[in-house]
Homo-oligomer: A and B are copies of this chain.
Amino acid sequence: MFKIGDFSKFSRVSIKMLRHYDEIGLLKPAQVDPFTNYRYYSADQLPRLNRIIALKDLGFSLEQIATLLDDALPASEIRGMLKLKRAEIATRVREEQTRLEQVEGRLRQIELEDGVPVYDVVLRKIAPQIVAGIRAVVKADSGDITAMFEEIEAYVARYNARETAPPLTIYHDADYRDDDIDVEIAVPVNAVIPATERVHIREVEAVATMACVVHKGDYISIAEAYTSLFGWIATHDYTISGALREVYLRFGADNVGYRLPDAYLTTTAGEFVTELQVPVSKEESK
């Protein structure tokens, strides 16, 4: 019978941990002195502790190890758990590799721009959304877009179907152009309301990986945000894989029919907040 200190030395498991394993029932001492509560371990327990360490090194939690050990469960189940674990680790490896690429991209970015970038690009998953929209070809800065938003908000307001979420613009052109922009404006709705020749109701599709950047200020200075966003996509080796979106988190307020809390609105152009979103994907080059 070893006292906990000796057993700890042999097994290279800290005393703390042995006590912890006792507490959670993973490895109880062979014997406990009822008067002093001293734990006494037998040499027989080394193999079990060894198995625990082996499984721990494979990445199993102590709870899972308890399952794996306690029930003398069939080999097939153990194989199953191992395969699950394998998949899990493979996923983590991929995640960490992605993270590594992100960090490398950011380093490249700093070197290229010779300083810390002003905009922070975030990758996120975007959920689908039901919207009422109008799609048209317009000239840039012609005010058409503002007019279209007023129109669609008024339309949605008639059905009382406005969902409390920001409106957005979707740019369907694959390339950039100053004029004749194929643009869709959309406002979220909470019910499927009737469509018209001009107004359609559709689900704006989910995007698994969306590169997003938040721009604060008027729409003139938004070009910088675009530059940053596309620069980021280039330095991080992503490819654009869908239509660009502009989400108006905070925008001009002196309009009619807007069913949004005041918080979403402002009267100062300098206070506008816009999120630029571009679906991206990684070309597998390995």
Interface residues, chain A, with chain B CB atoms under 8 Å away: 1-3, 6, 9-10, 12, 43-44, 46-47, 50-51, 53-55, 57-59, 75, 78-79, 82-83, 85-86, 89-90, 92-93, 96-97, 99-100, 102-104, 106-107, 110, 114-116, 119-124, 165-166, 212-214, 216, 249-250, 261, 263-264, 266, 271, 273, 275
Contacts and interface: CB of A to CB of B under 8 A. Distances in A.
Contact of A123 (B6, B57, B82, B106): B57
A93 B97 contact: yes
Given A59-B103, A263-B6, A43 B124 contact: no
A96 B96 contact: yes
Contact of A116 (B78, B106, B263): B78
Stoichiometry (number of copies) = 2
Contact of A53 (B93, B122, B264): B122
Nearest to A105: B58
A100 B106 contact: no
Given A43-B216, A93-B93, A263-B3, A110 B57 contact: no
Contacts of A99: 57-59, 89
A1 to B, nearest CB: 6
Contacts of A55: 120
B216 A2 contact: no
Nearest to A93: B96
